[in-house]
Structure 1
C-alpha cells in the first residue's frame, strides 16, 4: 500500500484540512498519515478560532512519521507561522521527502489573508522551493505574482512570473473564474490546460485541500504529474457532483462518493 502524509491544520467539522485530506487519501486506496500544524474551531459557516501547534511538536510529529512509515508523497496545507514553515522545510530536507505537493493556503474564503508578508516570503523562498508541484488558487496566485488575475491570459502571465522564483510545476486553479473551471499547469515554460466542468454546487468547503491531497495520492501511486492532475480533477468533479448537503453554510464534498 502506498503511503501519503498530510501536513496541515485540523478542521473539527471534517470538511477541510487534515480530515478532508485523510478521507481523500483513503478514497484513493492509500494509507494516510498526518502532521497537525494547528487546531481550528470551524464549521461550514466560518473559522472561529485557531490554536497553533508548537514548532517542537510539529518536528516531533514529522520525525515519528518519517523514521517509521516513510511516505511516498507529502501534501502540505495550512502553515501558520514563519517558525513552522522553517521547521517543516528543515525536516523535509533532513528526511529527503519526495513527491511534495504544496497547497499555499494564504487567503481565507472571505478574501482575508491568513499569512503576513514575512511568512509569505518564507513560504515562497523556503517551503515552496522543495515542492514537486504547487497548487495556488486565483487569489493565492495573485499574491505570489503581485497582480490581479481576471482571465486565462492573466493566469499564464502569473505562472510565468511565479516561475521566475520557482523551478517546479505550477498548477493555477481557475475555479474562481466565472466561465469555467479550467486549471493551468506551467512547467519549464510549457503550458498545459486541464478543462474542468463547472458544477453548480454551493457546497465547496475544502475543495483546495481535497485536490492537493488527491494529487499527492496519485503521485504516490506512480502516475506522472499530468496524469495525477487529470485523475484528481475527475475525482473532485465527482465529489462535487454527488452534491452532499450538510451544515448551514458552504458544506463539505462527498470525499468517498467513489467508494459506494
Structure 2
C-alpha cells in the first residue's frame, strides 16, 4: 500500500453502557469486541460499576449524571453525523438515564438498535431497580431492532417461566410480538443439558444456536460480548441471523479461552478466536 492509499474506513459503532472495573463486562467488553471484529467503537458511559470483594462480589453502582450522558451523546452524534447508524445499549441503571438516552436516540434515525436489556444490578435498591425495569420496557424496548435477553430477562419480558428450550422459544416469540424486534434469547448454562442453547426469532425464522457447555457457571462478559458482536456484525452489513451465528461462535471461543481471577467467576476473553 502506497502512502496515498488507505484501507476502507471501518463502520462506526456506538455502545451506551457502564464501565465494569475488572474489564470482563460492560463498556470494556463492548470495545474489545468491536476491535476484534473490525469496527470503530465509540462509548457513552452511563455508570461506573465495581464488584465489592467484601460483600459477596455484589456491585457498587455509581451513575453518571444525566447531563454528562447527554453531553457525551451530543458530541458523538455530532462528530459522526451521517456515518453512525448502529448502537448497542447496555447498562443504563436509572429512569433518569433511560429518559436521557431515549431522547438522544430520538435525535437521529438508526438502522440497528441492539438492546441488551440489563434489568437488574445487584446492589441497587429493589424499588429503584423496579422503576428502572419499567422505564426500560416503556422507553427503550420499543426503539430496539434486536434484543438479546438472558434467561432472567427473557422471563421478565415475556411473563413466562423458562425451564426448557421450548419455553425459551416461546419467550422469544412473545418478546418479538411485544417489541417488533429480532430476538436472541439466551439459555446459556441455565437450562439443563449438555449444550448452551440460544433461540433466534425474527417473526419468520426460528433457529436454535447451540454449542457444548464450557463448565456450568456463567462467565462474566458473555452477554455483553454477544450483544456487542451482533452489533458489530450488523454495522458491517450482516443479516440479523448471520450476526447471531457469528456472535455465538465468537462468545463460545471467548468462554473456552476465559480469563481466571480471584473473583468467584471467570471472564470471557474477546480474543478467544485468535487462540483457536
Common topology (TM > 0.5): yes
Q: Is the 8 A contact 1:245 1:252 kept in 2?
A: yes
Structure 2 counterpart of 1:258: 273
Shift of the 188–114 alpha-carbon distance from structure 1 to 2, 3 Å rule, reads farther
Structure 2 counterpart of 1:238: 253
Deviations 1:69-95 (A, max 9, x none): 243421111011112111111111212
- 1:181 is aligned to 2:196: yes
- Count of aligned pairs: 259
What SS does the corresponding residue of 2:106 show, helix, strand or coil?
helix
Q: Hey, what's the Cα distance between the residues in 1 that align with 2:144 and 2:20?
A: 24
- 1:168 is aligned to 2:177: no
Shift of the 22–113 alpha-carbon distance from structure 1 to 2, 3 Å rule, reads farther
**Corresponding residue to 2:111 among 93, 98, 106:** 98
Deviations 1:131-171 (A, max 9, x none): 11000011111111222110112112222332332111111
- Give matches, 1:1-260, under 5 Å: 1-42=10-51, 46-69=57-80, 70-108=83-121, 116-175=129-188, 176-179=190-193, 180-188=195-203, 190-200=205-215, 202=217, 204-259=219-274
Deviations 1:174-214 (A, max 9, x none): 10212121111122254222122212274711111110001
Q: Hey, what's the Cα distance between the residues in 2 that align with 1:99 and 1:121?
A: 23
- Please identify, of 19-28 and 36-45, the stretch whose mean Cα deviation from structure 2 is larger: 36-45
What SS does the corresponding residue of 1:22 show, helix, strand or coil?
helix
Please list every run of 5 or more consecutive structure 1 residues that lacks an aligned counterpart in the other structure.
none
Q: Hey, what's the Cα distance between the residues in 2 that align with 1:171 and 1:116?
A: 23
Larger radius of gyration: 2
Q: Hey, what's the Cα distance between the residues in 2 that align with 1:252 and 1:116?
A: 25
Where relative contact order (Cα < 8 A, 6+ residues apart) is larger, the structure is 1
Deviations 1:107-138 (A, max 9, x none): 4589x979633322221122111111000011
Aligned CA RMSD, in angstroms, stands at 2.2
- Please identify, of 69-78 and 32-41, the stretch whose mean Cα deviation from structure 2 is larger: 69-78
Q: Hey, what's the Cα distance between the residues in 1 that align with 2:26 and 2:127?
A: 14
Shift of the 123–8 alpha-carbon distance from structure 1 to 2, 3 Å rule, reads same
Please list every run of 5 or more consecutive structure 2 residues that lacks an aligned counterpart in the other structure.
1-9
